[in-house]
Each structure stands twice: as C-alpha cells, then as structure tokens.
C-alpha cells in the first residue's frame, strides 16, 4: 500500500525533470517556442504564467522608448527571459521606467549589485553621455555582465568585479551556486536554510573610496541591491551622501537592517518614495496600509532638493 501511494509522488518530479531536459534540447526548444514567438510578433502579450515556462535563448533587444535600445544575451534565465517576452514590462515594471527617466539626466551612475547588467544597460541607453559603473562580485555572473556590455559598444559602462561595503578590504561572499545567482550576499545570515552554499573571499570597496580615487564632483544616481548588505554599503558612502546627494534606488527587505539605514537617511534630508505601477508614491513604504498591492520592494531615496526630478510627469 505504501509503495503504491509513494510511487506517483516520486514519479512526478522525475517527469518534470525529464520535461525540462527535453525542453532544453536546442531543436526541441526552437520548435516549442516557435508558435509563441509568432504570437509575440503579432502583438499578443503572453502572461507570466505561460512565458516563464518558455526559456528563450539568444539575443534580446530591449526598447527603452524614444528610439533607444540595448541588447542582452538570454540563456533562458528568469530576468532576460522576461525581457524577451514582455520587454521592460517583463522585469520590475514599476521600477525600470522610473530608473530610465532619472538616468536621462544623470552623468555618473552606480549600479551596485549589477548581476548581468540590466540597470547599467538601461541607464546607458537612456543617457549616452552617462558614465556608468557596474559592480558585481560573483565571477561567473560578472563574466555575463562583461559579455552584455560588449554587445553594446557605444555605451560607456565600466564593469567592476568587486563587492561594495562599509570599507576597503576582503570579505567572504556566501554564494548558493547555480548558473545564475540572484541572492549571493556578504551577509552570512541572509540565506539561512539554503541547501547549498559556497563561501569564498571577494574584494570589497567603499563608494567613498571610489569617489575619492576617481575625483568625481558628482554622483547622480545609485542602484543598491546587494541582498541584505545595503546598510553597510550606505555606511561606506556616508561622505558621498552628505556632499554629492545622489538619488538612490534601493531594495527594502523586511528581515534585513536596510530599513533602519533608510530611516536614518529620511532624517537627513532624503525623501522616501515607494514604487508601484501607478508611479512613485512619496512617503509610502511598500505594502504599507493603503499602498498598492502591486508595490515593489524597491524604494527611491531622493534628496529634498531633487524631488522635482521624481515628481515631474
């Protein structure tokens, strides 16, 4: 009796694994995707529940509006796959349009936690004059970032294989592994319960040290998404925040210390905006009572004197 009950439970994962393996065979993948690509060409938008099972592999050209585009290579992973099927609406649709609008008027942009380079590429497409610096410490992901930058030879993007923290040095990065990784962190407790974890040293830099080294008189826009270590990165850019007053896009996660760091900034002349499909919402915390159910975990921190850049339609 027990064998008969367990057999279907054991069979289903094996069938799913076999189906995924078959789907990843290049010829099968092309045949599977063909009708859906035709639907896409006809202007039919596939829902996420459909296209997440259709891993596209190849070059993705993303339209940023006003004739601006950037290219990325998709290996079937979540982020690039969403961009192929839905364009900018395929990944953080409440965030990317705001980022692009702010990048249009920026000269120095820092993408901290760049992964394969989406936000760096979008910023460079929005502002060809911008100097964009992309920081990614995971070597295999940094290699993909470098390849994506090479696909856009007219963009002024400098990739950096390092992490950003409170001070210069070396720290252990906690990496769950896999071909792609969205959750490696310098915070050893960020991925509690992960089934696999590799730990290895990476170079860590502070934004203040980089600003001094390069002699920048301005830093206009910063994206900060480093899996629970944002408070340390903010500590390492204290002088930059005080003197250069960049706008910051930051991921706000409840189980990290980022919230306290954000609160301190709002006490020093920064204004918090949550992001939703309705646009930036001043003073709202994501998922707070009254906030949009579609609000993201990303927030903007904007110097009071620069709020017009966000408030203008």
Instruction: Give percent helix, percent strand, percent coil of the chain, each to the nearest 5.
Output: 40, 25, 40
The larger pLDDT score, comparing residue 297 to residue 243, is at 243
pLDDT of residue 286: 55
**Confidence check: pLDDT of 237 > 60:** yes
Confidence at 293, pLDDT banded by 50, 70, 90? very low
Q: Which two tokens stand for residue 254?
A: 């409840």
Show the CA angle centred on residue 73, arms to residues 64 and 220, nearest 5°: 45
Each residue's pLDDT tens digit, 205-229: 999 999 999 999 999 999 999 998 9
Q: What is the mean pLDDT of the chain?
A: 89
The pTM is what? 0.89
- The neighbouring-strand residues paired with 248 are 222, 301
**Confidence check: pLDDT of 195 > 80:** no
Contact between 64 and 98 under an 8 Å Cβ cutoff? The reply is: no
In the chain, what percentage of residues exceed pLDDT 90? Answer: 70
The larger pLDDT score, comparing residue 195 to residue 247, is at 247
89-167+203-311: CATH superfamily: Vaccinia Virus protein VP39 (3.40.50.150)
d(CA 233, CA 290): 30
pLDDT of residue 1: 45
**For strand 169-175 and strand 198-205, is the pairing parallel, antiparallel, or unpaired?**
antiparallel
Which sequence spans correspond to the domains of the chain? 89-167+203-311
Confidence at 295, pLDDT banded by 50, 70, 90? very low
**Confidence check: pLDDT of 8 > 70:** no
In the chain, what percentage of residues exceed pLDDT 70? Answer: 89
**Confidence check: pLDDT of 289 > 70:** no
d(CA 271, CA 291): 17
**Confidence check: pLDDT of 94 > 70:** yes
**Confidence check: pLDDT of 271 > 60:** yes
**Confidence check: pLDDT of 162 > 50:** yes
Each residue's pLDDT tens digit, 13-46: 776 666 666 677 788 888 889 999 999 999 999 9
Distances (CA, A) of 142 to 75, 145, 306, 307: 15, 5, 32, 33
């Amino acid at each position: 009796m027990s064998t008969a009950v367990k057999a279907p439970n054991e069979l289903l994962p094996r069938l799913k694994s076999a189906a995924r393996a078959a789907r990843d065979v290049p010829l099968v993948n092309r045949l599977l995707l063909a009708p859906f690509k035709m639907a896409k060409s006809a202007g039919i938008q596939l829902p996420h529940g459909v296209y997440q099972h259709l891993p596209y592999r190849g070059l993705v050209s993303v339209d940023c509006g006003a004739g601006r585009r950037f290219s990325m290579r998709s290996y079937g992973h979540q982020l690039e796959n969403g961009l192929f099927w839905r364009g900018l609406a395929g990944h953080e649709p409440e965030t990317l349009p705001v980022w692009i609008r702010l990048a249009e008027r920026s000269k120095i942009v820092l993408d901290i936690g760049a992964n394969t380079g989406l936000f760096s590429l979008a910023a460079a497409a929005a502002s060809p004059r911008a100097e964009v610096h992309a920081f990614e410490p995971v070597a295999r992901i940094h290699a993909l970032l470098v390849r994506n930058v090479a696909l856009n030879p007219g963009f002024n993007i400098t990739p950096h294989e390092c992490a950003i923290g409170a001070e210069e040095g070396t720290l252990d990065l906690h990496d769950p592994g896999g071909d792609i990784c969205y959750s490696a962190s310098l915070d050893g407790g960020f991925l509690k319960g992960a089934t696999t974890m590799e730990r290895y040293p990476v170079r860590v830099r502070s934004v203040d040290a980089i600003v001094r080294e390069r002699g920048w008189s301005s830093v206009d826009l910063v994206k900060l998404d480093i899996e629970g270590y944002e408070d340390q990165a903010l500590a390492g850019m204290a002088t930059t925040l005080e003197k250069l007053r960049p706008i910051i896009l930051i991921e706000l996660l409840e189980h990290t210390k980022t919230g306290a760091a954000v609160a301190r900034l709002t006490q020093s002349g920064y204004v918090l905006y949550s992001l939703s499909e309705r646009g930036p919402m001043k003073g709202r915390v994501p998922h707070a009572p009254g906030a949009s159910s579609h609000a993201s975990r990303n927030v903007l921190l904007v110097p009071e004197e620069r709020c017009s850049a966000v408030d203008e339609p």
